[in-house]
């Protein structure tokens, strides 16, 4: 399955894609209905009050100023004051309500995206860069927050005021109103024609932000190699390129987002010009009053100002849509490692613990790594997987632990298709100590408990007792502060070998039926390795062990040795044979 999120970049959009995406976007705030209705009422009142102003001013001029009735002027000014204060109150209310909606949406979205990432399989993380994913969680969700908290109600409000002002213009004088509004129609055509282009520009820009974030993340995690090889220039150049790309796309997006501003300004000025010319002509012929012209000009402003605001909001909207696209593509990803029901249901007691049946496997866009492989792993035996670098040992182990599903064929666990086990059942049965042990920032205790929640409530003494019973106390002694030794994911607070020991304790304490060690002792001194060997020998009798190792002494005591290379997995027979196969790359007897 292709998990590459980049496949969606520059994809041609289906018709009505914007409206579909908008509908989905609004569905996100469906449970905010009450707040939305309240904010909607507030913006409606605000828009209504904004429209009352010009009418009142025009009426004051015509009725009271021209007839010098100053008490009427005072009364209307008082009414205007109340109108402005209430308008301020409703504006504040809607900003507050929508600010809350934005923050809650941001909170929900970030949780949803993060939880989705927890559900996705290893193949997804192979195909996507961590920096880009972080950018989706941090940057893109914030674009949606901005849209909901700042733009959405302004959008609604602007449309109300614009429509109201437009109606007033037509109501006061139909031909003059129509002439004043005509530049807006050209605006609308222009916006429609450029919408897809604007969105594309924003999408490309957000992707370049993701790429830049990926570059930063990669250089920060590889800082030691950069310093050791004195290759700061390499990452500097790569970052400069990503930054340059971001700069160019940001300029493109900025241009696309701002192109409406001058066009709207021009349309508004044309509108004013038309009204002034015709209005003054109408006044001179006695068909229009000065007060009405003042109201008219105010409504023109009330019509074109929101339109100008809509242009900015439209740009925010396009950014939000592009961000939403990036988030929704991620949210739509489905793990292909689902638990499959209705396969063979009952585990078969006589079946081998694990078996490959005609298993073939290739990575996406890669060559076939395993070709029609068959083997059985019996309970209680120790197996070694050997072979040249890149031969397929880790891949085989990953299929055993169901980090991937075979491209074809079946992996059976206890005689049952491994896909029919829930991930809890499967990980209880199979312990996998990875080549690069990953630990979390915290203590040795916390890292051990990460894989063994059953001991969560145990005191340090109780946990130490559990560790002693599992013969792991010799390993715990390698840490100065025992279970309380601090662990950091980055930096060198503890050595790589010590990390491997923690990963080892974490896996062994789970008492799995099958324990896979992928180069798990590569960084451990010989004495500790002997200790590990003893621990492995003393695991419960039925525990099956798979050891992947390049060091020959590690595989010497294995019951069976598999040689893995060029798509094939073959039994080496004896240790000597395995050594020959390793040296000559093929079976010799
Ligand atoms: N995530 C991946 N995506 C694409 N190809 C991969 C991936 N992981 C491994 N491969 C390819 O699959 C092949 C087998 O790799 P694998 O890691 O299984 O070998 P290995 O025998 O464990 O090697 P080593 O001894 O170096 O650990 C190699 O050609 C490798 O390039």
**Ligand 1 pocket list (CB less than 6 A):** 126, 363, 366, 369, 387, 389-395
Average pLDDT over residues 78-101: 89
Per-residue pLDDT band at 371 (split at 50, 70, 90) = very high
Residue nearest atom 16 in ligand 1 by C-alpha distance: 392
- Tokens representing 212 are 């830049």
Could you tell me if the ipTM is greater than 0.90? yes
Average pLDDT over residues 222-236: 72
Find the range with the poorest average confidence among 209-213, 314-318, 375-379, 499-503. 314-318
Give residue 225 CA to ligand 1 midpoint distance, Å: 21
Question: What is the pLDDT, as a whole number, of residue 13?
Answer: 59
Q: Is the pLDDT of residue 231 over 80?
A: no
Give residue 131 CA to ligand 1 midpoint distance, Å: 23
Task: Set out the domains of the chain in order of their start, with CATH numbers.
Answer: 5-331 (1.20.1560.10), 354-584 (3.40.50.300)
Q: How far is CA 313 from the centre of its chain?
A: 24
| Bridge partners, 227 (sequence order) | none
Q: Is the pLDDT of residue 408 over 90?
A: yes
| CA-397 nearest atom, ligand 1 | 18
Q: Is the pLDDT of residue 345 over 60?
A: no
- Tokens representing 268 are 């508004």
| CA-564 nearest atom, ligand 1 | 21
List, edge to edge, every strand of the sheet that includes 368-377.
Answer: 368-377, 354-362, 408-413, 416-417
Residue nearest atom 11 in ligand 1 by C-alpha distance: 390
**Total residue count of the chain as it appears in this document:** 589
Per-residue pLDDT tens digits for 413-430? 988 889 888 888 888 899
Question: What is the pLDDT, as a whole number, of residue 587?
Answer: 47
Residue nearest atom 30 in ligand 1 by C-alpha distance: 390
**Four-residue CA torsion sign, 23, 28, 32, 38:** negative
Give residue 390 CA to ligand 1 midpoint distance, Å: 5
Question: What is the pLDDT, as a whole number, of residue 381?
Answer: 92
Average pLDDT over residues 540-553: 84
Q: Is the pLDDT of residue 163 over 50?
A: yes
> Do 186 and 260 touch, CB atoms closer than 8 A?
no
DSSP H stretches of helix in 121-231: 122-127, 130-135, 141-146, 152-172, 174-221, 223-228
The predicted model scores a pTM of 0.69
Question: What is the pLDDT, as a whole number, of residue 200?
Answer: 85
Q: For residue 7, what are the contacts with CB-CB under 8 A and spacing of at least 6? A: none
Distance, in Å, from the CA atom of 406 to the CA atom of 408, rounded to the nearest integer, reads 5
Average pLDDT over residues 141-163: 82
CB atoms near residue 327 (< 10 Å): 23
Tokens 């490692």, residue? 337
Find the range with the poorest average confidence among 258-262, 349-353, 510-514. 258-262
Average pLDDT over residues 579-587: 68
- Tokens representing 159 are 């449309």
> Do 488 and 441 touch, CB atoms closer than 8 A?
yes
- The residue among 360 and 23 whose pLDDT is bigger is 360
Hey, which of 365, 395, 546 would you mutate to test ligand 1's pocket, going by the most ligand atoms within 8 Å of its Cβ? 395
Q: Is the pLDDT of residue 69 over 90?
A: no
Q: Is the pLDDT of residue 1 over 70?
A: no
Average pLDDT over residues 96-119: 84
Q: Is the pLDDT of residue 336 over 80?
A: no
| CA-387 nearest atom, ligand 1 | 21
Distance, in Å, from the CA atom of 503 to the CA atom of 437, rounded to the nearest integer, reads 6
Average pLDDT over residues 114-143: 85
Mean pLDDT score of the chain, rounded to an integer? 82
Residues above pLDDT 90, as percent of the chain: 12
Residue nearest atom 1 in ligand 1 by C-alpha distance: 126
Tokens 């005591």, residue? 557
| CA-435 nearest atom, ligand 1 | 27
CB atoms near residue 323 (< 10 Å): 27
Q: Is the pLDDT of residue 230 over 80?
A: no
- The residue among 428 and 538 whose pLDDT is bigger is 428
């Amino acid at each position: 399955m292709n998990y590459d999120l980049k496949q969606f970049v520059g994809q041609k959009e289906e018709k009505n894609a914007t409206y579909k995406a908008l509908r989905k976007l609004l569905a996100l705030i469906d449970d905010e209905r009450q707040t939305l209705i309240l904010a909607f009422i507030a913006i409606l009142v605000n828009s209504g009050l904004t429209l009352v102003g010009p009418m009142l001013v025009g009426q004051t001029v015509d009725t009271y100023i021209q007839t010098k009735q100053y008490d009427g002027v005072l009364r209307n000014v008082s009414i205007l004051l109340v109108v402005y204060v209430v308008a301020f109150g409703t504006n504040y209310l809607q900003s507050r309500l929508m600010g809350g909606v934005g923050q809650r949406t941001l909170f929900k979205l970030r949780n949803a995206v993060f939880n989705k990432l927890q559900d996705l399989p290893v193949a997804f993380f192979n195909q996507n860069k961590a920096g880009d994913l972080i950018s989706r969680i941090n940057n893109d969700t914030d674009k949606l927050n901005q849209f909901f908290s700042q733009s959405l109600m302004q959008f609604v409000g602007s449309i109300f005021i614009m429509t109201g002002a437009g109606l007033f213009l037509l109501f006061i004088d139909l031909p003059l109103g129509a002439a004043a509004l005509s530049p807006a129609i050209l605006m609308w055509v222009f916006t429609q024609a450029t919408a897809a282009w604007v969105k594309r520009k924003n999408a490309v820009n957000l992707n370049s932000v993701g790429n830049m974030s990926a570059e930063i993340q990669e250089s920060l995690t590889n800082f030691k190699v950069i310093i050791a090889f004195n290759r700061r220039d390499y990452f500097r150049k790569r970052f400069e390129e990503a930054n340059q790309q971001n700069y160019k796309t940001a300029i493109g997006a900025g241009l696309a987002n701002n192109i409406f501003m001058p066009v709207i300004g021009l349309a508004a000025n044309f509108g004013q010009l038309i009204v002034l010319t015709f209005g003054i002509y109408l006044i001179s012929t006695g068909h229009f009053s000065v007060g009405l012209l003042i109201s008219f000009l105010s409504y023109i402003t009330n019509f074109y100002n929101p339109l100008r605001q809509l242009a900015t909001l439209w740009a925010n909207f396009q950014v939000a849509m592009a961000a939403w696209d990036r988030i929704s593509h991620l949210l739509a990803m489905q793990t292909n490692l689902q638990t499959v029901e209705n396969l063979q249901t009952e585990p078969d007691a006589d079946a081998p613990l694990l078996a490959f049946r005609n298993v073939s496997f290739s990575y996406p866009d890669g060559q076939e790594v395993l070709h029609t492989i068959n083997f059985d792993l019996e309970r209680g035996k120790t197996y070694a997987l050997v072979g040249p670098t890149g031969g397929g040992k880790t891949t085989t182990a990953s299929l055993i632990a169901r980090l991937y599903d075979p491209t074809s064929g079946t992996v059976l666990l206890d005689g049952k298709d491994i896909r029919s086990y829930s991930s809890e059942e499967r990980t209880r049965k199979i312990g996998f100590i990875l080549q690069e042990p990953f630990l979390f920032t915290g203590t040795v205790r916390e890292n051990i408990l990460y894989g063994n929640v059953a001991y969560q409530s145990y005191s340090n003494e109780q946990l130490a007792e559990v560790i002693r019973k599992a013969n792991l106390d010799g390993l715990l002694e390698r840490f100065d502060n025992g279970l309380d030794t601090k662990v950091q994911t980055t930096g060198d607070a503890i050595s790589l070998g010590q990390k491997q020991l923690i990963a080892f304790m974490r896996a062994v304490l789970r008492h799995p039926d099958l324990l896979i060690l992928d180069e798990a002792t590569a960084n451990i001194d010989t004495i500790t390795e002997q200790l590990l060997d003893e621990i492995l020998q003393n695991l419960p009798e039925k525990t099956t062990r798979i050891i992947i190792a390049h060091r020959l002494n590690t595989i010497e005591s294995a019951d069976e040795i598999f040689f893995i290379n060029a798509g094939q997995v073959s039994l080496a027979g004896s240790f000597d044979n395995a050594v020959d196969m390793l040296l000559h790359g093929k079976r010799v007897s």
